[in-house]
């Protein structure tokens, strides 16, 4: 029995999760590797083979690393759990005129819960992943996430939904490192191909990055149902016809198939009457938003007027805002205009590098 405890490591077969497992193994943990199969791309009707974390090569890479370093490895089929929740939510959100973040939903509701359930069954003290972030315990006793050292790889934004029982047993060994250091570790462990392995930024179940095609395949007759809606401007003037409101996102400029001699952007989506509003870049500016489905991490809650750096998308640098409790979540008042607030995306609140909490954006400007 390891003096450091037993840890279940999520291994996708990629560089980050593999180095995570090997690092913990070297540190004296009793490691158990697990690879989760979340999705069969072939069942979506796509034109490409499975990619990323759900193909047989990735499974074999993960298992090979485990065998070579003497720890057990399992494959866990969570396609039913994943599909019922993450994919249905993905489709429902687009049909509601919002832009979902399936990685957040998956981490929050599926992957960590599935890991913890299997960790308990296998007698593991901890679960670990290859995410770039850090887990700490505050003086108030609460566990919280802070940004990873490598700002270009930091994934704290997608982990805001993890609750205390999950965080208290989570290890994130890559948080203190830069990606270049992890690549060097892979070389040092004797995996030169892994060190050069490219990374995928696609949604795992939409590996061709064509979410519109995915929606058409999942919802029979969708294209016919939503075609022919109106593009309008902010005064309500009809500017032309579009292909259907689910196929557009807030801030979109390309692929509108309509020209005005100047750049125009999607500024609002109104699913009730299949309308898409267009405007200039400044029309994307908002100073308020409502955020619901809140999960507080560092503190149990907030006091009205608390200031926090607020990120409204993964690669967003963030903007200072004041937070106010609201019957349906949190009212966010930005110090300066925020651009391209998209309902359905995550809003994550930071105190320095620490995640205070997060939630799902409901609308980009309070009435």
Contact between 133 and 14 (Cβ < 8 Å): no
Position 43 in a domain = yes
Pair (94, 181) in one structural domain: yes
Give per-residue burial for 65-77: e unless 16+ CB within 10 Å, then b.
bbeebebebbebe
Count of structural domains, the chain: 3
**17 annotated as a binding-site residue:** yes
- Residue position matching structure tokens 């029995």: 1
Position 150 in a domain = no
71-105, pLDDT tens digit by residue? 999 998 888 888 778 899 999 999 999 999 998 98
**156 annotated as a binding-site residue:** no
Helices (H), 219-365: 222-226
**13 annotated as a binding-site residue:** yes
Position 366 in a domain = no
Inform me whether the pLDDT recorded for 178 exceeds 90: yes
Q: What DSSP element (H or E) covers 128? A: strand 126-128
Position 318 in a domain = yes
Pair (348, 308) in one structural domain: yes
Mean pLDDT over 152-159 rounds to: 95
Position 238 in a domain = yes
Pair (80, 107) in one structural domain: yes
Position 105 in a domain = yes
pTM: 0.92
Pair (237, 354) in one structural domain: no
How far apart are alpha carbons 72 and 89 in whole angstroms?
34
223-238, pLDDT tens digit by residue? 999 999 999 999 999 9
Mean pLDDT over 193-218 rounds to: 83
292-339, pLDDT tens digit by residue? 999 999 999 999 999 999 999 998 899 999 999 999 999 999 999 999
Q: Which residue has the higher pLDDT, 47 or 118?
A: 118
| CATH code for position 11 | 3.40.50.620
Inform me whether the pLDDT recorded for 51 exceeds 80: no
**306 annotated as a binding-site residue:** no
Catalytic residue numbers? 106, 204
| CATH code for position 244 | 2.30.30.280
| Closest C-alpha to 297, from 127, 134, 107, 145 | 145
Angle 56-69/15-26 helices, nearest 10 degrees? 10
Pair (10, 123) in one structural domain: yes
Pair (233, 347) in one structural domain: no
pLDDT for res 367: 38
How far apart are alpha carbons 322 and 306 in whole angstroms?
5
Pair (112, 177) in one structural domain: yes
Pair (11, 121) in one structural domain: yes
| CATH code for position 313 | 2.40.30.10
Residues 6+ apart with CB under 8 A from 224: none
Mean pLDDT over 271-289 rounds to: 95
**255 annotated as a binding-site residue:** no
Pair (180, 289) in one structural domain: no
Q: Which domain holds residue 238?
A: 226-279
């Amino acid at each position: 029995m390891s003096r450091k405890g037993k840890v279940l490591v999520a291994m996708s077969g990629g560089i980050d999760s593999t180095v995570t497992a090997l690092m913990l193994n070297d540190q004296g943990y009793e490691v158990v590797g697990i690879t989760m199969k979340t999705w069969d791309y072939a069942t979506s009707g796509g034109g490409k083979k499975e990619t990323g974390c759900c193909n047989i090569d990735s499974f074999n890479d993960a298992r090979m690393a485990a065998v070579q370093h003497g720890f057990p490895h399992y494959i866990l089929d969570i396609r039913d759990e994943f599909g019922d929740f993450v994919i249905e939510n993905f489709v429902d959100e687009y049909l509601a005129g919002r832009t979902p973040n399936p990685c957040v939903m998956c981490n929050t509701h599926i992957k960590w819960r599935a890991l913890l359930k299997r960790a308990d069954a296998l007698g593991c003290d901890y679960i670990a992943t290859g995410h770039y972030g850090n887990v700490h315990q505050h003086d108030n006793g609460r566990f919280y996430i802070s940004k990873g050292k490598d700002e270009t790889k930091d994934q704290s934004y997608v982990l805001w939904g993890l609750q205390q029982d999950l965080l208290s047993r989570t290890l994130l060994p890559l948080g203190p490192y830069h990606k270049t250091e992890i690549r060097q570790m892979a070389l040092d462990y004797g995996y030169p191909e892994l060190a050069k392995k490219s990374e995928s930024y696609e949604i795992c179940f939409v590996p061709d990055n064509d979410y519109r095609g995915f929606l058409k395949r999942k919802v029979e007759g969708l294209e016919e149902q939503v075609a022919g809606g109106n593009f309008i401007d902010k005064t309500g003037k009809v500017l032309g016809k579009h292909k259907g409101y689910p196929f557009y996102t807030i801030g979109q400029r390309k692929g509108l198939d309509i020209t005005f001699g100047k750049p125009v952007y999607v500024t609002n989506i109104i699913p009730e009457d299949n309308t898409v509003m267009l405007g200039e870049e400044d029309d994307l500016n908002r100073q308020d938003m409502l955020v619901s489905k809140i999960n507080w991490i560092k503190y149990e809650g907030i006091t009205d007027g608390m200031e926090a750096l607020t990120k409204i998308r993964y690669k967003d640098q963030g903007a200072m805002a004041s937070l106010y409790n609201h019957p349906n979540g949190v009212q966010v008042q930005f110090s300066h205009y925020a651009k391209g607030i998209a309902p359905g995306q995550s809003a994550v609140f930071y105190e320095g590098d620490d995640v205070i909490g997060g939630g799902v954006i409901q609308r980009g400007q309070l009435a």
